[in-house]
Structure 1
Amino acid sequence: MELTQRLGDKIAIALSSLCVIHCLATPLILIILPSLGALVADNHEMFHQVILFFVLPVGVLALWAGYRHHHNLSILLIGLAGLGLLLIAAFFGHDYFGETGETALTIFASLIIATAHVRNFQSNQIMPTGDCHHD
């Protein structure tokens, strides 16, 4: 389970970073290369759906494995809150907050998720396996 958590945290951090890069780079690419606008616009929602397909299970699995190891509920709740915000951004962000609001919420959620996974990973490194507290 420890390997699952460490690998899951690393993958989740990478996916969260990819999400932030996508949100920040897409408008810049559209400004620099407006001819790509149609291609990006058509695949924008698909990118969110594909990334969520990976982010949700990997994130939940890594956070849960970490919680079972270190029993720090705040890390688990912060990560789940970030995942919840990411779901809201993906499914309702554009309709309720507009393009800018959706982007801001997605970046905010991704940073929360990455922070939770960094803390999850660090907690695993700090607490040796033999020092686990099992309830």
Structure 2
Amino acid sequence: MTARIQTWGDVAAIGLSVLCMVHCLALPLLAASLPFLGLFADAPWAHWAFAGTAAPIAAWCLSRPFSDGNRNWALLSLGGSGALLLFMAAAEWPAHEWETPVTVVGGLMLATAHGLNWRRRSHDH
């Protein structure tokens, strides 16, 4: 049962990463054509909400030991680095112009870590 919950955690985290990238890449294009969506395209709360949701899911899923009792520290580091980049982008550090590329790279890092974790867990049984 625990493996199934961890799998769903990885799937949820990958989905959040995809939503984050859609928010960063597609919403500004839609906002140009539909001004109402402009309220959400550059909303700081959305970036903090994505990062604040992704980080605990990543910490929980990626830090869980496998059936042999070991943890994959490389995946944990990759996911942690991705989460850190999401928080950096939310804080607009180092500059506002870097927000989208830093968010996309952070989201890809997190999605990759969760995808590899999911794959490892499916072969772990």
Question: Sequence identity of aligned pairs in percent?
Answer: 34
Please report how far the alpha carbon of residue 35 of structure 1 lies from its aligned counterpart in structure 2 after TM superposition.
5.2
User: Aligned partners of 1:82, 1:23: CA distance in 2, in Å?
Assistant: 15
User: Aligned partners of 1:117, 1:126: CA distance in 2, in Å?
Assistant: 14
Closer, same or farther: CA 105–125 of 1 in aligned 2, 3 Å: same
The size of the alignment, in residue pairs, is: 121
Q: Which has the higher helix share?
A: 1
TM-score where L is the length of structure 1:
0.80
- Runs (4+) of structure 1 exceeding 4 A deviation are none
Residue deviations 1:64-106 (CA, integer Å, cap 9, x gap): 12xx11532211111111111111111233xx222x3101100
TM-score where L is the length of structure 2:
0.86
Q: Which amino acid aligns with 1:111?
A: L
Structure 2: stretches of 5+ with no match in the other structure: none
Aligned equivalent of 1:133: none
Q: Which amino acid aligns with 1:90?
A: A
Question: What root-mean-square deviation, in Å, do the aligned CA atoms of Structure 1 and Structure 2 show?
Answer: 1.8
Q: Which has the higher contact order (CA 8 A, sep 6+)?
A: 1
Aligned equivalent of 1:26: 27
